[in-house]
Chain A
Amino acid sequence: MPIKSYLAHPQEDKKQALFEALSKIEQCEVIPAKNEDLLIVVTDTNSQEEEDKLKKLMENIDSLKLLSMVSGFNTPKND
């Protein structure tokens, strides 16, 4: 059950649009920076396949310039 965190860099002047687009995705939690063009995204998915799908989905958002992963955790299913 992977949990990953990313830094999302928006296209110029598209921070709000990116924030809204990401917030719509159920598995994402978004924390925007107050004074820089940067958002933090934490994803929580049930499987690697779901995670891969989610990543593709995120990468296809127009307002996104660059998505880079910072940390990844994988918790066992039956903790």
Chain B
Amino acid sequence: MNNTLTNRRSFIKKMAALSAMTAAASLFPGILFAEEQIKGIPDGDLEWKKGPCRFCGVGCGILVGVENGKAVAVKGDPNSSVNKGLLCVKGYHQIMCIQASDRLKYALVKKNGKYVETPLDEALDLVAEKMKDTIEKHGKDSVAMYTSGQSTIPEGYVASKFMKGAIGTNNLDCNARLCMASAVTGFLTTFGADEPMGCYEDIDHADYFITWGNNMAEMHPVLFSRMLEQKNRRGAKIIDFATRTTRSSMASNKSILFEPQTDLAVANAICYEIIKNGWVNKKFVEEHVNFNKGLTNIGYGLEDKFSFKDKATKINFEEYKAFLADYTPEKVAKYSRVSVKDIKYLAAIYGDPNKKVVSYWCMGMNQHTRGTWINNLVYNIHLLTGKISQPGNGPFSLTGQPSACGTAREVGTFTHKLPKGVVTNKKHRELAAKIWKVPVDRIPSKPTYHATEMFRAVDRGDIKFIWTQVTNPLVSLPKTSRYRPAMEKESCFVVVSDVFPTPTSDVADVILPASWHIEKSGMYGNSERRTQQWDKMIEGPGETKPDAWMTIEVAKRMGYGDLFPYSEENHAEEIYNEYIQFHKGAKHGMAPLEVLKEQSGAIWPYVNGKSTQWRFNAEYDPACTNGKDFHFYGKKDGKAVIWQRPYEPAPEVPSAEYPFWLNTGRVIEHWHTGSMTRRIPVLHKAMPNAYLELHPEDAKTLGISNGENVKVTSKRGSCIMPASINERGLPTKGQVFAPFFDENLMINDVTIDAFCPISKEPDYKKCAVKVEKV
């Protein structure tokens, strides 16, 4: 008690001295204080340990203050070029969730409908036995694993090796399918290589930031603050292109609202204007771009076992130009509700050869039944104008999870993926078999279930064993009104590894207690291809173990021990060293561990001891070998693709019975399903429950006042929540919005499980609902 008191006081004294120094520096710029004096200020017994933040895909560097084996403080890592010492409110308070009273500390096994605390060894025996039994009785494809973009790189890697290399099934997918899949297919179809070509330093060079359906002030606040700084200091401009007025709109120089789904048409209209006004960068397009068209009327994946394969046909520039004739600003303005003037304004920004433009987007474009298309269309704009792969110029797809890039995309915890390449490619299977030391024919060549289909298979009874790690699908899936009862069925044995109880663990047969973030070692990879490593900082409570280690333990019990020869203390590093063999070479080389330990992350391709900040640009990227300024080496002929993609309507649009669009999303205080952030008192108190935002005029018509309970209903389900009028966000007329973090007010019972036929990523942003007062 006394100890903490003195420490707190000495800490405050340091803070007081620091604020005086800041004030002194504003009086006398360049003022210096003796080093030893600063050190002499008591710092308590805090030891600061470096790592990445637990939450979003920005991947801020954090320093965790550890005192007597407990995490007591967090600050931004000033050495991290991502956040330069700044964090957001979630980041600063993240460690507080560890002490939540309902932390899962021991394994729980359901016996006669009750959860019984069980020694971890016994629980793992049961999981292995059940998995083995199921495979013997029903075949390899009756067991599945569903992991996460929050799994560390080693955790994703052993899950992939276990399912694809040891058992021999492609029944592995992850929640990144719900957030990043369209970005991946967008990159692959246009460039043949996944992940952004630029990096966050683009912010320091760009003249314009155009955000597509993206509320960065709340969802990527640290990057947004970097943009604001450029706006204030350099006069850079932020243009907010969205379906709802948000905090980001308030800070932007201009906010342009569009009707849901019409972003497809507006993007085409911008290209139309660029061509019409002669703003095409002819040299760039001739040297570096091909034109393709794909299939149209491609469906929405609403039915079980839906399948679709796109077919690319080469076209020429003239054909592409003729296609765009349907997308004049005048025609598009009619259904997009964006004025002709605003469309031309956007086109003029992209078209001005003297202005550097970065486009940012996240879920608005990815969670879209035409998600791959809209990603392609924004790339079209940057390719036509040649504004790509240069400092301050480029399209930038943001991510929502700390290792959506590092684990889900790079390690490849999707059904069709391998750590390098895809299961359908023989060479890629051979490489995996060689590194994993398994027979090549054990890795099946056909992908099986993507996320939505995986849970449909659980519902149908095709999957009889499922193991989820680091994710909470029964809050985050669309149409949980179907998938919750599905998971409750006796036909499927459910294993849930998590840190806290969630609606997903509520339906589990076995709950495994996982270590949280800083209680284990690991690596994450953020949106700008930056890999970041951290060492275990504190001991976890009870029998908690890292997810990777629990997977390994089950694999051993199933007889695959020789494939997982790692030590418990050091498995994260041993696995990483095995994993980076997959990515050797100039196009995807990963930084070695020594580098990651020393600095606050490194960007791949890491070649000759250097991060590559701008890929495909010969000036920065040593993998460019065609002797030209740019080389899109992801494609065989070194050229990127401009795709002809039309506007097609959403699968469900407002009707007389269901007159409103429903949009869902997040708030700054909570991260995803809130299982961590709601257990942090500061964050819960600032945002205690979900709500339904209405336009004030719609609310008036319906006789609804602020805070009153309303029932929002779709064809799939309903949810009762308080109305919010003119508070955090302002949807356009005819639209309502709800955040999805609240497991007690489940908006995903209402959403639709339609998805992009190419990426299989669901659309959480558009479905038709009615709203009633209750």
Give CA–CA (A75, B19) in the complex, Å. Answer: 17
> Shortest beta-carbon distance, B20 to chain A, in Å?
4
Asked whether A71 is an interface residue with its Cβ less than 8 Å from the other chain, the reply is yes
Evaluate contact between B24 and A38: CB separation under 8 angstroms. yes
State in angstroms the CA–CA spacing of A4 and B16 once bound together.
Answer: 6
Given contacts A33-B33, A35-B32, A70-B23, contact A40 B17 (CB under 8 A): yes
Q: Is B41 an interface residue (CB 8 A)?
A: yes
Interface centre among A6, A7, A36, A75, by most chain B C-beta atoms within 10 angstroms, is A36
Chain A nearest CB from B282 CB (Å) reads 56
Asked, given contacts A38-B24, A79-B4, whether A31 binds B9 with beta carbons under 8 Å apart, the answer is no
- List the B side residues contacting A38 at CB < 8 Å: 24, 27-28, 31
Decide if B16 touches A73 in the complex (CB within 8 Å).
Answer: yes
Nearest chain B residue, comparing its CB with the CB of A40: B20
Among A3, A35, A41, the residue within 8 A (CB) of B12 is: A3
| B701 touches A (CB below 8 Å) | no
What residues on B are CB-neighbors of A73 within 8 Å?
12, 15-16
Contact in complex: B30, A75 (CB < 8 Å): no
Interface string of B1-31 (1 = CB under 8 A from A): 0001100110011011101110110011011
**A40:B24 contact, CB within 8 angstroms:** yes
User: Which chain B positions have C-beta within 8 A of A56?
Assistant: none
Cβ contact within 8 Å between A42 and B13: yes
Chain B residues, CB < 8 A from A6: 20
A62 within 8 A of B: no
Interface string of B32-50 (1 = CB under 8 A from A): 1110011001000000000
Bound state CA distance, A50 and B400, in angstroms? 52
Asked if A42 contacts B31 (CB within 8 A), the reply is no
Are B16 and A5 in contact, with the CB atoms below 8 A? yes
For the complex, what is the distance from the CA of A49 to the CA of B106, rounded to whole Å? Answer: 52
A35 to B5, CA, bound (A): 35
Cα A36 to Cα B30 in complex, Å, equals 9
- In the bound complex, CA of A73 to CA of B10 (Å): 12
For the complex, give the distance between the alpha carbons of A44 and B34 in Å.
21
- Knowing A31-B33, A35-B30, A79-B4, the reply to whether A7 touches B13 (Cβ < 8 A) is no
Q: Are B34 and A34 in contact (CB under 8 A)?
A: yes
Residues of B within 8 A of A29 (CB): 13, 17, 41
Contact at B32–A33, with CB atoms within 8 Å? yes
Give Cα distance in the complex from A41 to B19, angstroms: 11
Decide: A44 near B5, CB < 8 A? Known: A31-B33, A70-B20: no
- Cα of A33 to Cα of B34 in the assembled complex, Å: 7
How far apart sit A70 and B20, CA to CA, in the bound complex (Å)? 6
Give the CA-CA distance A73 to B15 in the complex, in Å: 9
Contacts of B31 in A (CB 8 A): 33, 35-36, 38
Looking at chain B's contact residues, the main secondary structure is helix
Contact call B16/A79, Cβ cutoff below 8 A: no
Residues on B with C-beta less than 8 A from A17 are none
Q: Is A1 an interface residue (CB 8 A)?
A: yes
Closest-by-CB residue of A relative to B23 is A70
Q: Per-residue CB proximity of B704-718 to A under 8 Å, as 1/0?
A: 000000000000000
| Contact code string B294-307 (vs A, CB < 8 Å = 1, else 0) | 00000000000000
- Inside 8 A of B15's CB, which chain A residues have their CB? 71, 73
Given A44-B9, A73-B12: A34 in contact with B17 (beta carbons within 8 A): no
Report Cα–Cα, A29/B10, bound state, in Å: 12
Nearest A residue (CB) for B21: A40
Least CB distance, B67 to chain A, in whole angstroms: 15
Residues of B contacting A1 with CB < 8 Å? 9
Contacts of B30 in A (CB 8 A): 35
How far does the alpha carbon of A4 sit from the alpha carbon of B15 in the complex, in Å?
10
- Given the complex, which residues of B lie within 8 Å of A41, measured CB to CB? 20
Q: Are B37 and A31 in contact (CB under 8 A)?
A: yes
Minimum CB distance partner of B9 in chain A: A75
- Measured between C-beta atoms, what is the minimum distance from A77 to chain B in Å? 9
Contact assessment for A79 and B5 in the assembled complex, using a CB-CB cutoff below 8 Å: yes
Cα–Cα distance between A35 and B16 once the two chains are bound (Å)? 21
Does B8 contact A75, Cβ atoms closer than 8 Å? yes
Q: Please give the distance in Å from A79's CB to the nearest CB on chain B.
A: 5
Interface-central residue, B4, B33, B38, B41, by most chain A CB under 10 Å: B33
Q: Which residues of A contact B19 (CB under 8 A)?
A: 5, 70-71
Question: Which of B23, B28, B38 has the most CB atoms of chain A within a 10 A radius of its CB?
Answer: B23
Residues of A within 8 A of B41 (CB): 29, 31, 42
Tell me the complex Cα distance, A72–B27, Å: 19
Cα separation A37 to B20 with both chains bound (whole Å): 14
In Å, the complex CA distance between A65 and B695 comes to 59
Q: Which residues of B contact A36 (CB under 8 A)?
A: 24, 28, 31
Docked pose: A36 CA to B38 CA in angstroms: 16
A5 to B17, CA, bound (A): 6
Residue pair B8, A7 in contact (C-beta under 8 Å): no
For B13, the chain A residues whose CB sits under 8 A away are 3, 29, 42, 44
Complex Cα–Cα for A36 and B5 (A) = 34
Interface pairs (16), CB distance under 8 Å: A3-B12, A3-B16, A4-B16, A29-B13, A31-B34, A31-B37, A32-B37, A33-B31, A36-B24, A36-B31, A40-B33, A42-B41, A71-B19, A73-B15, A73-B16, A79-B8
Which 3 pairs show the lowest CB-CB distances between chains A and B?
A5-B16, A5-B20, A71-B19
Q: A3-B13, A44-B13, A79-B5 are in contact. List 20 more A-B contacts (CB 8 A).
A: A1-B9, A4-B16, A5-B17, A7-B27, A29-B13, A29-B41, A31-B17, A31-B34, A33-B33, A34-B33, A35-B31, A35-B32, A36-B24, A36-B28, A40-B20, A40-B21, A42-B13, A71-B16, A73-B16, A79-B8
